[in-house]
Amino acid sequence: MIRILIVDDQNTVRELLKVNLEQQKDLQIVGFAVNGKDAIQKVQNLNPDIVLMDINMPIMNGLRATKIISQKFVNTKVIVFTTSDNDKYLNFALDVGAKGYLLKNTSGEEILKAIYHAQKGYFYLENKLVEKYLNKLAKVQSDLSNTFGLKQLIINQAQIIDEKLDSSRFFAELQESKFTVRDINNRIRNLEKIILSIRKTLNIFIISFTIILLFIFGLIISQ
């Protein structure tokens, strides 16, 4: 029997989850909490196997509560259950030890999958979010590749002009040109700033991609 604590400040959400989950013979709803602080106390008193945790709640939010529960109650697995598909929330949920991330409009079938995966110690990310982050990762990689290509093109142009500078017959032509080596160097510096920004963005998606790999690995192990 898998013992479940539902944490959400909305009574409607709590009752819907209760009705859906209690249809499963191997699941038992052991209690409810309305905020993060309440959830920590209920985990201590009820010792649930799984906590379905909302994020935005009064007094203490779900992510802070997840961190505390993951550190103090190692046998209890937390699945974030939220309306937000914000990248930062997902990455933070992984950092604080959550074993799943679900949106509130996910299907009952996926909620069950997340519970069974979390119970075995695997991270579960719902299918919609897997697809979303794979698409984002592909786009960032494409943008980064295009930017490096543009930088290389400008560097090649700079090299050609440097070669012209070595020849006196091109000196007069270069003096009259508005497109100088200084212009090229400025463009290269600007591109380097853009590349640095894209690299920072790519680091975020590498974390998300790691989540996806953990999710897929969990599926493989559970079969």
Asked whether residue 141 falls in the same domain as residue 115, the answer is no
- pLDDT of 220 reads 41
Q: CATH number of the domain that 18 lies in? A: 3.40.50.2300
pLDDT in tens, 167-183: 555 555 555 554 455 55
Domain count, the chain: 2
pLDDT of residue 4: 98
Tokens 């963005």 map to which residue? 201
Domain check: are 8 and 106 in the same one? yes
Are 115 and 154 found together in one domain? no
Q: What is the pTM of this model?
A: 0.64
Structural domain boundaries enclosing 182? 130-222
**Same domain, yes or no: 88 and 153:** no
Q: How far apart are CA 193 and CA 211, in angstroms?
A: 28
Which contacts (CB < 8 Å, 24+ apart) does range 128-134 have? 128/103, 129/85, 129/90, 129/101, 129/103, 130/212, 130/215, 132/85, 133/205, 133/208, 133/209, 133/211, 133/212, 134/209, 134/212
Task: Summarize pLDDT for 88-105 with one digit per residue, the tens.
Answer: 888 889 899 999 999 999
112 shares a domain with 15: yes
Q: What are the residue ranges in the chain where pLDDT is below 70?
A: 130-223
Asked if residue 140 and residue 95 are part of one domain, the reply reads no
Q: Clarify whether residues 111 and 6 are in a common domain.
A: yes
The pLDDT of residue 116 is 93
